[in-house]
Amino acid sequence: MWTSLTLVSILIAVIFWLIMETSIRVSYEQDNVDQVDRLMWTTLERYGLEDYSETLRLLADSDDCYIQLLQESDGALLLSFDADGTAQTTETAQASGIIPEDLFARLDASGGVIGYRVDDAGRNLTWNVKAAVTAYDATGRYVLILSKALTNLNLILSVFRKRLMFVLLGVLVGAVLIAFFFTRHFAGPVNRLTERAKQMAEGDYDSPFPRQGPTEVLALSDTLKGAATEFRATEELRRDFISNVTHDMKTPLTVIRMNAEMIETVAGNDPQRRSAYLSGIIAEVDHLSEFISDMMELSRLQSGTWLPELAPFHLNLLISACVNTMEPNPGAGGGRIVVRACQGLYVRADSMLIGRVLENLLSNALKFSPGDREIQVTAFHGSEATADVLPRLYAFPDAIAPETEVKPDPPSLSPLVYVCVRDFGPGVPKNQQEQIWDRYYHVDPLGRENTGTGIGLNIIREIMRLHHRPCGVISEEGKGCLFWIALESAPAPREQE
């Protein structure tokens, strides 16, 4: 970058040099032509005055030009003044080098006025000449010839080049120094960030990004640092995904293989043993199917392509349907589900997704609750401040009134509806209550028969995120859990009032 900036500076200096020299040359030459034209018209206007000869002398002296008056009949010079205003004789006059042989023919062709240049090799200069017919008489025409030397042009350019050279050298030195410090201030940090980015591309997400340089480079460093953090999290998620998927798929496959081998080698013709082994195979296949379905559903939720279809619906009916689906059969080892909910609860949400949330919460509660304890489902109107009193609902579950006696907040003052699922299982330790919402996370399972896919709570969180509504858990180790969600309240349809 330093070399590029230096080359650009040199190129700019050369272009500036050429532009300035060309501009001076063209401007000077044009000024000379304009001055000769002005003098010519001045002398023509004063022709015929008594002091015309003196006027020509003064103009020659003041404007540093040669003025000659030529007679056509014999080619004699009637007047001749040099640049100092000194009268010249025929021998010392400039006519021999200035007046071309075809002067009068050219005047005839141009209407009586011509302009041309003559190179004077002896003096190493160029003459700018203007000739015009001033008068006629019986002997022929009288021609006034003005010539002005471009004497000082080469001298001016020589002086200009010398001075401009010093100026440009100073500019180049300054440009080189500026380029050097610029590259150290800008390019240096960018190059270090580039090297660090290459390391990140190779999988090194832990090396820090240097925060040096101007504001823009600092912003780039912070952006790359954030990208490295995201890549690190993604890499960890990938490793966890592979580890968990491998574990969750390998274990059922091992059990299936073991049961199949037992059928082949042990069960023989014993129907009871064969049935038991086949039941084990079916259970593991169901577990695999549930795991794959949960992964596909979670992938759709996180992809952003699954948008909730928000519409008002009767929450009480959805809770009843989910409870009827999840209510364990007698003797299955699950707890009894008790619903305590306000009547006439309507919410605006995607009923299918919220049904999935309730099923996941009830499924977890049934898995981890002792068989002799009930599972409580509570639903009521509330506001954002209601979340602060949920710990009381967790601490005093038996103080909750039956569903017909629940005292809700007035619906007009309650923009939310809370749904809580309370179990009396082992609970979740405080230090794990954030991680349980992550995919594949298990809280020290009681045994394989009581564990799920590790995706259910993550699905709940994604569904609530799509609804832009909160969810949470309140728990103490050994005292069970209270999982809760908040939904947007909706007015009851008129036909239901």
Provide the pLDDT for residue 6.
Answer: 67
Please give the backbone phi and psi of residue 312, each rounded to the nearest 5 degrees, phi first. -65, 140
> In Å, how far are 334, 335, 363, 480 from 330, measured between CA atoms?
8, 9, 16, 22
Nearest-10 crossing angle of helices 215-262, 271-303: 170
Percentages (nearest 5) of helix, strand, coil residues in the chain: 55, 15, 25
pLDDT at 496 (0 to 100): 46
pTM listed for this prediction = 0.48
pLDDT in single tens digits along all 497 residues of the chain: 556 666 777 777 777 767 777 777 777 777 878 888 888 888 888 877 778 888 888 888 888 888 888 888 777 788 888 888 888 876 666 656 778 888 888 888 888 888 888 887 777 778 888 888 888 887 788 888 888 887 666 666 677 777 777 777 777 777 777 777 776 666 677 777 778 788 777 777 777 777 776 677 778 777 877 787 777 777 776 676 666 666 566 667 777 777 777 776 766 677 777 777 777 778 777 767 766 676 676 666 666 666 788 999 999 999 998 888 887 554 444 457 888 888 889 999 999 889 989 988 998 888 888 777 788 999 998 887 777 778 877 877 665 543 433 444 455 556 899 999 999 888 888 888 888 887 666 665 444 445 556 678 888 898 898 899 999 999 988 888 999 999 999 988 865 44
C-alpha distances out from residue 348 to 308, 309, 344, 362, 386, Å: 11, 9, 13, 21, 19
Candidates 341, 415, 328; CA nearest to 370 is 328
Q: Give the bridge partners for 128, in sequence order.
A: 117, 148
**Cα 43 → chain centroid:** 72
- Give the pLDDT of residue 316: 93
Distance in angstroms (rounded) separating the CA atoms of residues 67 and 43: 10
If we measure between CA atoms, which residue out of 112, 115, 95 comes closest to residue 33? Answer: 115
pLDDT value for 330: 43
Give Cα 236 to chain centroid, integer Å: 27
Q: Which residues contact 158 (CB under 8 A, 6 or more apart)?
A: none
Give yes or no for a contact between 252 and 284, defined as CB atoms under 8 angstroms apart: yes
